[in-house]
Structure 1
Amino acid sequence: MRIKTFITLLMIFSSVSINSQNAAKVKPLVLENQTSSDSFVKVDTNVYGASVYIDGKYAGSTPMYSQKVSAGRHTLRITKTHYAAKELTFYVNKGETKSFILDLESISAWVNVSCSVNGADIYMDGSSFSGNRIEIDEGSHTISAAKFGYEKYTQTFYISRRETKTFNIELKKAEFNITSISPSKKVFNPENKGALGKIDIQFSVTAPENGSLVIKDSEGNVYAEKQFSFTTWDYAYTWDGSDDEGYIVYDGTYTAVLYAGGKSASCTFKVDSSISYPALTMTNDGSGLGAFSLPLPYPDLTILAGFSSGAYFHGPVTEQNESFYAVPLDIFLSAGGEHVELGLKFQSFIKETNSFGLSFSAKLQDKIEITADSSFNYGATFRLASSNIPVFEPFGADCGNGIGIGIMAGFDFNGLYIGANSNLIFKPVSITDSEGKQDEKLWKNGITIAKTTKTYTAGIYGAIQSTFGSCSFEYKDSDDNTILFSENLRDNKRAFDAGFAFNTYLGASSTLLNFNGGMILYPETESYVYAKLGFTFMIN
């Protein structure tokens, strides 16, 4: 019996012809059909741990004894570091198992390295390595060596498989030079919180030396000085805009000068006490407060990133037996400046049937100076958003869905902002291509009153939301019943949204704590009370 089994296996494996020089000639071994209708692939290689990809997706490493696949044509790709990849196409029938035994060919080469300077960092293709010998693949490579105080060595070369190259690197002493100096910002306000009220003076040198960095005004008065003993290439000095006694300096142009090794280099920047970072967070239409985006600009290249969560409850006007409605979760990122802002927002409502949505917003804004402490601010917004399930039944209130355009305008009186917004949103409810007419529109109008300082922003807002058109779709209620919503949404007073918000910088940091609470009211039918807490991280 053992002899018969051995002869059978020998006949099977002898029928497989694999040409290790040509992957296209590899022929799969077809084993017995599986008793089930599932199809499988088995892969092994002459080297252990090769990565297996089927139709571009990672499927495991060799030996791979069984990988379920669908019947039909597939692509098989095998890769391993220092070996030439192999790729082939095969066809598997329903209920069939195919097995492949592949030879991967080594493409390794070796590089021996020595350096005339102890402690130098050696890099191959940008990655450092230790020791005097490294294994690489056949092809073009770049070797480099660097040590502070020496000129950098770089050489590009080609190496064939199974070849060995030797590099004896001679590093030459570098003459001391100041290669660069620059400010991290062109202008800043020391009164702002955290990193927003500081500036970094960044500079680079080539060799060991002693030096000093001096910050002075246009008249030559020195406000800060820092001594350095250079032991590496790159340095940065952070200045908070104050003098030796801790007083914030006056507005104006300042110069940072680095003196070292008989040489000097300088850069200039400005201190401007009018620069501010309003304590805002992301709304459905850009940075703002509560239900509305506000035309309060940030300095250019400002990034906002953050999240918020909380709870929605059924309010005093409701037909529901349970008070809890949903847990919201918002994650957002925006970037912009004085005139343009772009944002992304992920929004979810976690309840019996979860709702998930993604939105893109754009905001254009400007202002007209009236006096030194007052201005007329105005702007426009755009929104493109979609979600899998609408929220806030009986629907019609703005939940961040749809395609929206809006305008905003207001007066800023020394930090007291009073303004109005008007937004037209197309398909704020529709989410599917269900049968029925879906041409609903939402017109949201409201006002915001907010007080902004360098430390916090606090305000109240109110909006009336009118709906037009009709829509229909299916959704599940809290009891998992499928409901067909089909309604004419023509209602001038469909919903009201009012609330308050308070955003404040945490201590001396540039992180904001955000709180928002309010109510969404459908007259005589439903209401929702909400409270949300979050954090916004501001970077410039």
Structure 2
Amino acid sequence: MSLQRFTAFLAIFIISAGALFSDENASSSGIFVEDKSVQKGFEFDEAYSTYPELLESDRKSAIEKEKTKITVKSNVPNAEVFLNGNFEGHTNLTVNDLPAGRYNLRVKKTGYKPKFYRINVPQGEERVFYVELEKYEGTVNFIAVQPETLIYVDNTKISGNIVKLEEGSHTVFAKKFGYKSESSSIYVPRNSYQIITIRLQEAQFSVSNFRANKERFNPALKGSAGQIKFNFEVTSFGNGTLTIKDSLGNSVISRNLPGFTTWTQNVIWDGIAQNGTKIQDGTYTAILESGEQKFSVDFSADSSIKIPSASITASGSGIGILPAAFNFPEKTFCVGVNAGIICAFENKNFYCAPLSTFFAYSFSKNVELSAKVGLNAGHEGSSPFINSALKFTASKKQADFDMDFGFLIRAGGAKNKPFEPYGADNGYGLGGGLVFGLDFNNFYAGISSEFTFATSTFNTKNDNYDKVLRNGICFQLKGQSVSFAIYSALNSSFGTTALENDSRSSNSIEFLRAVDVGFDFQIALNSLNLNLRSNAQIFENQTYLKTEAGISMLL
């Protein structure tokens, strides 16, 4: 074969292979780097600079006349600092007793653009210089073949096609409903420009993960507590049918589900049958049919599930300031806000105005997590506080009532140490407790016992902290939408603190340190609950009168 024929054959082979590869890319799915170029820009460093910019100091202060002192700070920790080419240390760096004069300052760190300045170091002054380093970046232009493709870089959704990314490896994830998702790793060199094409493949329709958000519910309850939600995922456009059947296999209700246009689907059912009546107690099966796929999940209707008339205390759901042995129905959120006023009665003075927001969530019928954050406005300016609690309960059904019992752990604290002379439980410290209650149809009676450490100081790093035992009792009358409760608690104090206004002696034990008495009034309006409560905390030489109003919502 002649040289000319061999050259022609080789050229045809290369062109054909390139075209074949191009056609393969055009028809296959994935994330492709179509073009990459590196702009080898000139990096400014002292090796190339004859007259760097003068950096003014952020702060100047006088020191001894013959002394010098400079501090070099940066937005990046441990950046290298050079003066006149000599390594001096890492940011933040202080250098003393330099000869007065002008210096070349360079600050650099791997992955960041180095900065180079001139600085003046005069005698008798301390100067602070701040140098902000910028990361090396590259530019990426994402081109999605399918419009409205969602693109994520390192788990962050990007807006727009062109983004600047830091030098290094990044994970790109792309998805669009009706298509298979794609994920790939890309490397972005410094000062580079890349075009990345994203091409997705159509997904075959399928359904997965059909489930109910709770195992049992009471359709007679208001709001979300009286509903059950069915969730499932789909991969593409389609439709389906949801049918509820009773334990005998009879159809209770059937609902055609409209065309699916997103991945996650949910259907909420309020327990109303096809004939317009609420379902009776029992076991039911939800059946999802879509194409040739069929899924089912069992659940129960249970009229014994109740929504308690509850306030959110520092120890979880309860009555007034005391925890109770009940929880909200499973998978129920309670969120709300409170506002009030506290007066120091003996001094006839305004003490503070507590403002707070709170939530409680029942993971199941037995486990509840709650938290409250707020501000005692007006107490030494403002005194923020926080409480959190985890409560575990169980119930044993009797002929005419439920016997409830449980235990809890809790923690809380407040700035500026309020409610002197101390020794009473105001929701702070670390501790736990036991709760017990008898829950009748229209009446609740409960007792609680809680023991907390560092109740007044919220700090156990030394021996100067107290402990408080609070034993409480409460009674509540319950109507369909209104409830009224009274409660009382005895605070017993053990030990003392180093706080200035603590009246207790060292290692003191006071079984009758303070008494709490109060009432709790609730009005339920569908998923909303209005609350008014007031209590007096009575010490020997001080009484606090506390009144709060709040609103909460079940989700």
Q: TM-score normalised to the size of structure 1?
A: 0.72
Count of residue pairs the alignment pairs up: 480
Identity %, equivalent residues: 27
Query: The residue matched to 1:229 in structure 2 has which SS?
Result: coil
Indicate which of 475, 484, 496 corresponds to 2:515. 496
Q: Is the 8 Å Cα contact of residues 390 and 399 (structure 1) preserved in structure 2?
A: no
For 1:229 and 1:281, the matched residues in 2 are separated by 43
Note if 1:223 corresponds to 2:239: no
Q: 1:267 is paired with a residue of what secondary structure?
A: strand
Report 1:25-36 matches (<5 A). 34=60, 36=62
Q: What is aligned with 2:219?
A: 190
Matched, 1:465 2:464: no
* Farther-moved stretch of structure 1 (26-35 vs 438-447): 26-35
Give 1:518's aligned residue. 535
Cα distance in structure 2, aligned partners of 1:342 and 1:248: 31
- Which of these residues, 441, 448, 468, is aligned with residue 421 of structure 1? 448
In the alignment, the residues of structure 2 paired with residue 272 and residue 239 of structure 1 have an alpha-carbon distance, to the nearest angstrom, of: 15
Aligned to 1:53: 75
CA distance in 2, matches of 1:338, 1:292: 20
Residue 31 of structure 1: CA displacement?
8.3
Q: Distance in 2 between matches of 1:77 and 1:167?
A: 34
Match in the other structure for 2:207: 178
CA distance 1:465–1:128, shift in 2 (3 Å): closer
Mapping 1:86-485, distance limit 5 Å:
95-97=125-127, 106-111=136-141, 113=143, 115=145, 117-126=146-155, 135-161=164-190, 166=195, 169-218=198-247, 219-315=249-345, 318=346, 320=347, 322-336=348-362, 337-346=364-373, 348-351=375-378, 353=380, 354-371=382-399, 373-426=400-453, 428-429=455-456, 441-452=467-478, 455=481, 457-467=483-493, 469-471=495-497, 473-475=499-501, 485=503
SS of 1:213's equivalent? Answer: strand
RMSD, aligned CA = 4.7
Change (3 A) 1:469 1:103: closer
Task: Give the AA of the match of 1:530.
Answer: K
8 A Cα contact 1:502 1:515, kept in partner: yes
C-alpha contact (below 8 Å) 2:315/2:323 kept by paired residues: yes
Letter in 2 for 1:508: N
Aligned amino acid, residue 535 of structure 1: I
Q: Give the Cα separation in 1 of the matches to 2:529 and 2:59.
A: 63
Q: 1:419 to 1:41 in 2, by over 3 A?
A: same
Shift of 1:327: 1.5
Q: 1:498: Cα distance to partner?
A: 1.2
Given that 1:432 and 1:473 are in contact with CA atoms closer than 8 Å, whether structure 2 keeps it comes out as no
TM-score, normalised via structure 2 length:
0.70
1:499 match: secondary structure: strand
Secondary structure of 2:224's counterpart equals helix
For residue 209 of structure 1, give the secondary structure of its aligned residue in structure 2.
Answer: coil
Give per-residue Cα distances to partners, 1:105-144, cap 9 Å, x unaligned.
Answer: 85415446352x4554555555555776655444334445
Q: 1:60 aligns to what? A: none
CA-CA distance at 1:428 after TM superposition: 4.0
* Residue 508 (structure 1) aligns with: 526
- Cα 1:204/1:490, change in 2 over 3 Å: closer
Letter in 1 for 2:499: F
Is this contact kept in 2: 1:278–1:453, CA < 8 A? no
User: How far 1:249 sits from its partner (Å)?
Assistant: 1.1
Q: Deviations over 1:20-61 (max 9, x none)?
A: 99xxxx999898995635977789xxxxxxxx616599xxxx
Q: Distance in 2 between matches of 1:406 and 1:332?
A: 20
* Corresponding residue SS for 2:266: strand
**1:60-99 to 2 correspondence within 5 Å?**
72=94, 84-85=111-112, 95-97=125-127
Decide whether aligned partners of structure 1 residues 86 and 497 sit closer, same or farther in structure 2, where only a CA change above 3 A counts: same
Report the Cα distance in structure 2 between the residues aligned to 1:533 and 1:345, rounded to whole angstroms: 15
Which 5+ residue runs of structure 1 have no aligned equivalent?
Answer: 1-15, 44-51, 58-68, 476-483
The CA distance in 2 between the partners of 1:148 and 1:433, in whole Å, is 54
Q: For 2:204 and 2:443, how far apart are their aligned partners in 1?
A: 57
